[in-house]
């Protein structure tokens, strides 16, 4: 066999994998191989592999007799919708996808290339953590990944796709990235496994119960997206990438749409009840104003009292931040503040304009919230908005009370343009609560306290909570017809697209933690 034939045979062996039984075991678990996953993610035929011939140099524990090519990770680049991305995928068939020195160096090289060329980085995770046989060299490999995750933060989009186990220190790399996808039943993430938890605390828990997709999608907030299978998961990764720029020096791709920018939305008036205490689904409002009704919700099942989503208006990508009256009446609490703050920071880092839809009665009261640090967590959202230099547009749909109004990108914290619907109530608090505080003595001294309270509530509304009070003082740029919402937002985005704002010179800020 000549050298060229030898190379071809070797490459074929590498692509086929270590042995057919290992592939069958992977498929039996409902999981694809690393190369099959890459093929689903990337445009057909676009993948170029890097270092397929790499092998480890470890000795001891029988390692010198087991030196498969790729060392358990497939790395390279390709395209998604014609745009370059870098990707690495753990191959669970080789050492359980565990990370050793050579494995880590392959990932380091790929991350360096992604940062240098300014292209998104996607990791397809399915590994057993650090390779025990290689000791501290494997741990140092994780350190190099974490350092590069941090260096790439805010420079290129980083997406982690969890398709199998991810335990111990390995879980910190996904936590440092922008978005985490998880697949039910096959993906788990935890720092200490069920056996350790049982030994230390006495709690009996399964892997899924400790760190499965639903746990991280609903309870911990670690996972931004949860899917039932790998196909729909990777398809959504492709959709997300279509909404993102390649790096922080570019703007998101603009797409042609047949949905007119000035399309009227008469349905909006009926979607949002006039009664401020009646719930509704804010997602129906986002759907109505978005191009063709399409948007991608982030953290759909965590902190559901606020909705954050990526969508398009007149072909341009925008980030929506919206209170959700359907959950906890749309109040801000610790989780909602953290969720929205991280999303605002991401949009600002990658030049995505922000559209904030307000219908917020305030911050959630309670001992748990105060002791849990609602002050510093709420300040995270405030800091994120104040620090953002992308175009920022806010719209009050119904009520906007107290500090929550200020925090939700009010004009006073730097919103470029602020609008309100005719039924808006912007105030320190609701009229009933305000009357009880301001007119407490008058109500108590009245012959008919209830009649006096009702009279004073009306008076307070007429003087301070009427829809035009904020507009008269320049805190709202205009009061708009709900049907014209899409047109107004599209026009505002168009005029703000050339916005340029500089922050003071500094190494970095010190946001609240």
Q: Which residues are catalytic?
A: 168-169, 403-404
Cα separation of 155 and 248, whole Å? Answer: 5
| Strands 417-420 and 225-227, bridge-based pairing | unpaired
Degrees (nearest 5) of the Cα angle 139, 140, 142? Answer: 70
Cα separation of 209 and 164, whole Å? Answer: 15
Cα separation of 436 and 423, whole Å? Answer: 23
Cα separation of 187 and 208, whole Å? Answer: 8
Please identify which residue in the block is written with the tokens 């991810």.
166
Contact 58, 134 (CB under 8 A): yes
Cα separation of 121 and 111, whole Å? Answer: 7
Q: 309 - beta bridge partners?
A: 297, 320
Q: 167 - beta bridge partners?
A: 190
Degrees (nearest 5) of the Cα angle 263, 473, 324? Answer: 50
Contact 153, 116 (CB under 8 A): no
Tokens of 354: 């922000």
Q: 130 - beta bridge partners?
A: 99
| Strands 295-298 and 225-227, bridge-based pairing | unpaired
Cα separation of 176 and 96, whole Å? Answer: 23
Contact 45, 82 (CB under 8 A): no
C-alpha gyration radius of the chain: 26
Cα 428 from chain centre: 31
3-state helix, strand, coil in the chain (%, to 5): 45, 20, 35
Query: What stretches of 299-411 adopt beta strand conformation (E)?
Result: 306-313, 316-323, 354-360, 392-401
Contacts of 335 (CB under 8 A, 6+ apart): 221, 302, 303, 305
The pairs formed by 294-299 with CB atoms below 8 angstroms and a separation of 24 or more are 295/320, 296/236, 296/239, 296/240, 296/243, 298/179, 298/224, 298/225, 298/343, 299/221, 299/224, 299/339, 299/343
């Amino acid at each position: 066999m000549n050298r060229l034939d030898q190379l071809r045979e070797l490459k074929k062996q590498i692509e086929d994998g270590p042995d057919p039984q290992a592939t069958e075991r992977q498929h039996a678990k409902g999981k694809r191989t690393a190369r099959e996953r890459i093929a689903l993610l990337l445009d057909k035929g676009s993948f170029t592999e890097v270092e397929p011939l790499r092998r480890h140099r470890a000795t001891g524990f029988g390692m010198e007799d087991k030196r498969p090519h790729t060392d358990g990770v497939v790395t390279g680049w390709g395209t998604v919708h014609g745009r370059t991305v870098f990707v690495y995928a753990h191959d669970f068939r080789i050492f359980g996808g565990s990370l050793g020195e050579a494995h880590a160096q392959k990932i380091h090289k790929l991350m360096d290339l992604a940062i240098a060329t300014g292209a998104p980085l996607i990791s397809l995770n399915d590994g057993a953590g650090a390779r025990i046989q290689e000791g501290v060299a494997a741990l140092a490999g994780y350190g190099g990944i974490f350092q590069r995750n941090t260096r790439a933060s805010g420079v290129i989009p980083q997406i982690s796709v969890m398709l199998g186990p991810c335990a111990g220190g390995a879980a910190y790399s996904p936590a440092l990235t922008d978005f985490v996808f998880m697949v039910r039943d096959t993906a788990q993430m935890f720092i200490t496994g069920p056996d350790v938890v049982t030994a230390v605390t006495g709690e009996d828990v399964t892997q899924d119960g400790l760190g499965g997709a639903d746990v991280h999608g609903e309870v911990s907030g670690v996972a931004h997206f949860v899917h039932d299978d790998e196909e729909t998961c990777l398809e959504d990764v492709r959709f997300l990438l279509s909404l993102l720029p390649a790096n922080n020096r570019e703007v998101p791709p603009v797409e042609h749409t047949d949905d007119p920018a000035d399309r009227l939305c008469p349905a909006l008036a009926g979607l949002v009840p006039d009664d401020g205490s009646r719930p509704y689904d804010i997602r129906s409002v986002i759907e109505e104003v978005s191009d063709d009704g399409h948007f991608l919700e982030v953290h759909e099942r965590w902190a559901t009292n606020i909705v954050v989503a990526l969508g398009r208006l007149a072909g341009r990508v925008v980030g929506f931040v919206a209170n959700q009256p359907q959950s906890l009446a749309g109040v801000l609490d610790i989780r909602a503040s953290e969720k929205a703050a991280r999303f605002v920071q991401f949009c600002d880092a990658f030049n995505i304009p922000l559209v904030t839809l307000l219908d917020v009665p305030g911050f959630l009261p309670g001992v748990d919230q105060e002791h849990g640090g609602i002050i510093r967590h709420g300040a995270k959202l405030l800091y994120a908005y104040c620090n953002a230099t992308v175009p920022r547009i806010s719209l009050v749909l119904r009520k906007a009370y107290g500090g929550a109004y200020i925090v939700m990108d009010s004009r006073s914290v730097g919103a470029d343009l602020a609008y309100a619907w005719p039924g808006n109530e912007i105030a320190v608090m609701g009229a009933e609560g305000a009357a009880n505080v301001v007119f407490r003595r008058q109500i108590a001294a009245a012959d008919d306290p209830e009649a006096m309270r009702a009279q004073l509530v009306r008076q307070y509304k007429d003087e301070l909570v009427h829809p035009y009070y904020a507009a008269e003082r320049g805190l709202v740029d205009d009061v708009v017809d709900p049907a014209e919402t899409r047109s107004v937002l599209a026009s505002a985005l168009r005029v703000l697209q050339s916005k340029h704002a500089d922050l003071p010179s500094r190494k970095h800020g010190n946001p609240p933690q």
